[in-house]
A and B are shown apart, each in its own frame.
Chain A
Amino acid sequence: MRGTIRMTQQEVDPLGGIAAVPLVGAGAIGTTTMAIALTWWHREEINSPAAAILAIALVAVAGLVAWVSALPARAPFTLERLGLVVLLALGGAVAEYVSTIGRDRYLYDDFGPLSVGLLLLALAPFCSWVALLVAGTLGAVVVAILGLGSAGPAVTAAPALSFALLNAVAVFAPAAAAAAYSASVVSETLAWQRRTNAVALENEAALRTGIARSVQQGRVSVLSREVLPFLAQVMTADRISVADADRARELADALRRALRAGIESTWLDELASSTTAMRGVPVTVHDEAAAAARLRVEQRAAITALIVWLADERRAAAITIAFATPTKGESRITVTARPGAGALGRRDIDRFVAVARAVGLRGEVSSTGENIRVEFRHDA
């Protein structure tokens, strides 16, 4: 597992990442509103209305890109997207500088630097602390240079360095806050997960004992209860009868079938049978190549959560899970749910898809007739 340096809240706590998306939207709207308001506020300083409009447009686009990129359907948020957002927002800062060049009396009412900072702050749940700090530092350097250029026309008598610092702090303070948030959430989450996994390992012996006893009820074990008495009877008999030979053949065939079915089954078959038995929702698995066995633990957890949720409260009347043959290094898993008595909202399923994305399962939700279909793709 990667350390805290490169990890994001979206990766270690996918639901936390999903929950933060509206805040990015609020940040985008707030930043654009601020750009419009402050442009109006210092309208007397504007030399170039076109540049002023461009500045607002660039900030708005930066906010839009940030918002769209953070949507669960587009997870995970990549470094390239962060770079694009910062670049667009810095473009807005430069355009604003150009729009008031030579007439900017106060840097305090400039929105460019603060736009960069606030967008970084809004993206904190989606970026690593290092990425945020690097983006903040680079952004601060750029706006600091713009600040030096604004020192001349400013009405306050102060060294040029003050103007550079003032612009830089508008970017760097929010960026530092974002980085601190990201580092704190990731380290706390990973620490908790390490503790949980350690406790789980400690309890594994007891868990295995309990499961081993319950496995006695499994199909192979039940069959062994017929086989072993038969063999004991043969062992003590003097002769083998025709009936014995026929019975041995029957048992051998049944045992062979059970053994083969057992070998070819996976954890997903266990999940399907337990879900069917406990929740009364038929779950069918088509996985001839036992591809489910190759999924990582966290990928299994994401699929298990979806299946259990679909079967819970009878949201689905029937569930089918089908694994397709891998093509071009990509495997596909299709989960089809026939709606049941409970509410089966696509928006809720989107949350599971977003969680799955965080663990390398790229999911898409679609409707086929009245059925809901979720297709996951992952690298084979």
Chain B
Amino acid sequence: MTLGLPEHLAGASLGRALTRAGHSAAAVCLLAAMAIAAASVVDGRAWGLPEPRASAMLVLLLLAAQAAAQAALMRWPNVTLTVVTLVVGGGVAFALTELIMQPGSDFESTNNAMLALPRVALVLLGGAGFGSRIAITWAALGWGIGEAATLLAVALNDAAAVDWSGAGVWVPNVTAAAALVIMTIVRTFDGISRRSAARQEAGLYRATQQTRELAIRHDYELRAIARLHDTALSHLIAVATAGSGPIAERLRSDIRHDLALIVGRDWAIDHADHEADDEVGQGTRRPASSARADAARGRSPLAASTLTATAADAAGTVDAEADTGPAPLADAIDVARHAGLEVHLSGDPSALRRIDPARREALEAAVAQCLMNVVRHAGVDEVEVAVGPGDSELTVAVVDGGAGFDVAGVPPDRIGLRTSIRGRIEQEGGTVQVWSRPGVGTTVLLSVPVEGVGR
């Protein structure tokens, strides 16, 4: 999520919001005034005016005219309709004053509620444009035209009614003036406060971007860690513990195998390259697992010769189903076979083709690490791998009947489980569950979502 609004959008956005606020208040004022007039039409009492029903009806019609102009302006905010609304509003203010302030009226001056409601609406008309200055200009025009129309109406009837000390019939409408003052303060304040907050706002926006980049960077660091752990660390330990003497052919072969996968490429670039491939739409993605499987095949094509009949059947089915691309889990099984482990594969490995290649790559790498853990720690020579496709999740279980371990007591330096297995799967939105007891064996359940794309 991004916090707040950038400065270049905030001004216009708040301007529109303030205009809509004015529109709403203006609409409520006009509707309320019309309702009051309608009530007088029905009731027959209209502020002491002669012919109350007719007068109230006339008031209602005048207010309806202003409401129509205001509605048109709200629907199509342009300069022409703004001017039309100002003219209509001025005319209504003039006519209403003539009507309401005639002899016998209960109102003592023009500073009254019935004149205030349409006058406030005229101040809040919200003309074309969203800037603070133009908004204040339209509002000031609305107030000025309304006040001038009221003054003119009073003066035409009786010049003596205009007393500049405020003792006459004409008295500036306080509510309309208050509406203008409030609007001016809000608009002016908004402009000033936005300017002072601008730099910090930009800082917040940049921080959001920076945070995202930091997360991606950390993600790649973890990928790098997992890849290095899988390839280099175990070989270094093997060399260190072997001591001086001839190199075991198996160690040499393992090192050659892993170096073939990583020399001349970069663990982090691999994934990015796939995404770039996607972008150009070549549709020939070659995930690292593909290269890895190719390398494995180069030495010993997948024949599943050491697999059980079940596993061989499954692998054969997979190959038959898909003419292109490596068989699912081929690389992981090949690595395990190379280490002398017999893998019993069950379930439907072809289900792995349903998930995003990047996610499949992560899943296969995690399975490979599970199998290597069996080789190193379980003390058994066979393992069960079961693939369980589901509607929303694909699950792979790696089960061995070996030494087992205390799950709660895994020392912090056991990087393989944390990074190469759990880290990889969780980065893809999946989960890892481990059940193990010393002397009983270990079951690792890897689940990843079927839908969506890998990271």
A220 and B225 contact, Cβ closer than 8 Å, known pairs A19-B194, A212-B271, A297-B212: yes
Q: Are B207 and A156 in contact (CB under 8 A)?
A: no
Q: Are B415 and A259 in contact (CB under 8 A)?
A: yes
Q: Are B4 and A169 in contact (CB under 8 A)?
A: no
A184 and B17 contact, Cβ closer than 8 Å, known pairs A108-B113, A169-B117, A215-B268: yes
Which of A15, A172, A228 contacts B259 (CB under 8 A)? A228
> What string of 1s and 0s marks CB contacts (under 8 Å) between A127-169 and chain B?
0000000000000000000000000000111110110011011
Interface residues of B in 24-47 (CB under 8 A from A): 24-25, 27-29, 32, 35-36, 39-40, 42-43, 45-47
Q: Are B222 and A263 in contact (CB under 8 A)?
A: yes
Shortest CB-to-CB span from B172 to chain A, Å, is 14
Which residue of chain B is the closest to A210 with respect to CB atoms? B272
Instruction: Say whether A234 faces chain B, with CB atoms less than 8 Å apart.
Output: yes
Q: Are B21 and A124 in contact (CB under 8 A)?
A: yes
Complexed CA–CA distance, A19 and B197 (Å): 8
Which of A169, A209, A215 contacts B276 (CB under 8 A)? A209
Q: Are A178 and B1 in contact (CB under 8 A)?
A: no
Shortest CB-to-CB span from A104 to chain B, Å, is 13
Q: Which residues of A contact B229 (CB under 8 A)?
A: 259
Q: Are B29 and A169 in contact (CB under 8 A)?
A: yes
Q: Which residues of B contact A270 (CB under 8 A)?
A: 214, 217-218, 221
Q: Which residues of B contact A208 (CB under 8 A)?
A: 216, 220, 271-272, 275
Shortest CB-to-CB span from A230 to chain B, Å, is 8
Interface residues of B in 266-317 (CB under 8 A from A): 266, 268-269, 271-273, 275-276, 278-279
A252 and B189 contact, Cβ closer than 8 Å, known pairs A177-B22, A231-B259, A270-B218: no
Shortest CB-to-CB span from A223 to chain B, Å, is 8
Q: Which residues of B contact A304 (CB under 8 A)?
A: 207-208, 210-211, 214
Complexed CA–CA distance, A209 and B270 (Å): 9
Which residue of chain B is the closest to A162 with respect to CB atoms? B36
Complexed CA–CA distance, A153 and B209 (Å): 64
A16 and B14 contact, Cβ closer than 8 Å, known pairs A256-B413, A262-B225: yes
Which residue of chain B is the closest to A156 with respect to CB atoms? B106
> What string of 1s and 0s marks CB contacts (under 8 Å) between B238-255 and chain A?
011111111100001001
Which residue of chain B is the closest to A117 with respect to CB atoms? B25
Q: Which residues of A contact B39 (CB under 8 A)?
A: 158-159, 161-162, 165
A265 and B218 contact, Cβ closer than 8 Å, known pairs A165-B36, A301-B204, A304-B207: yes
Interface residues of A in 222-259 (CB under 8 A from B): 223-224, 227-228, 230-232, 234-235, 237-242, 244-246, 248-249, 251-252, 255-256, 259
A158 and B45 contact, Cβ closer than 8 Å, known pairs A172-B28, A214-B217, A304-B210: yes
Which residue of chain B is the closest to A187 with respect to CB atoms? B17
- On chain B, the number of residues with a Cβ less than 8 Å from chain A's Cβ atoms is 113
Shortest CB-to-CB span from B254 to chain A, Å, is 9
Complexed CA–CA distance, A272 and B203 (Å): 17
Q: Are B415 and A308 in contact (CB under 8 A)?
A: no
Q: Are B222 and A262 in contact (CB under 8 A)?
A: yes
Instruction: Say whether B419 faces chain A, with CB atoms less than 8 Å apart.
Output: yes
Range class of the A interface residue count: 35 or more
Instruction: Say whether B5 faces chain A, with CB atoms less than 8 Å apart.
Output: yes
Instruction: Say whether B407 faces chain A, with CB atoms less than 8 Å apart.
Output: no
Instruction: Say whether A341 faces chain B, with CB atoms less than 8 Å apart.
Output: no
Which of B43, B186, B246, B279 contacts A238 (CB under 8 A)? B246
Instruction: Say whether A196 faces chain B, with CB atoms less than 8 Å apart.
Output: yes
Q: Are A231 and B255 in contact (CB under 8 A)?
A: yes
Q: Are A197 and B200 in contact (CB under 8 A)?
A: no
Q: Are B247 and A238 in contact (CB under 8 A)?
A: yes
Instruction: Say whether B263 faces chain A, with CB atoms less than 8 Å apart.
Output: yes
Shortest CB-to-CB span from A161 to chain B, Å, is 5
Instruction: Say whether A66 faces chain B, with CB atoms less than 8 Å apart.
Output: no
Q: Which residues of A contact B186 (CB under 8 A)?
A: 23
25 contacting pairs across A/B (C-beta < 8 A)? A1-B1, A14-B3, A23-B186, A158-B45, A172-B28, A173-B28, A180-B20, A188-B17, A208-B272, A216-B269, A218-B224, A231-B255, A235-B255, A235-B256, A252-B233, A252-B237, A260-B413, A262-B221, A263-B225, A267-B211, A298-B1, A301-B3, A308-B203, A348-B200, A355-B4
Please name the 9 residue pairs, one residue from A and one from B, whose CB atoms are nearest each other, closest first: A305-B207, A159-B43, A248-B239, A184-B17, A169-B32, A180-B24, A177-B25, A252-B236, A181-B21
Residues of A within 8 A of B (CB): 1, 12-16, 18-20, 22-23, 26, 30, 106-108, 118, 121, 124, 155-159, 161-162, 165-166, 168-169, 172-174, 176-181, 183-185, 188-189, 192-193, 196-197, 200, 204-209, 211-216, 218, 220-221, 223-224, 227-228, 230-232, 234-235, 237-242, 244-246, 248-249, 251-252, 255-256, 259-260, 262-263, 265-267, 270-271, 274, 297-298, 300-302, 304-305, 308-309, 312, 348, 351-352, 355, 358-359
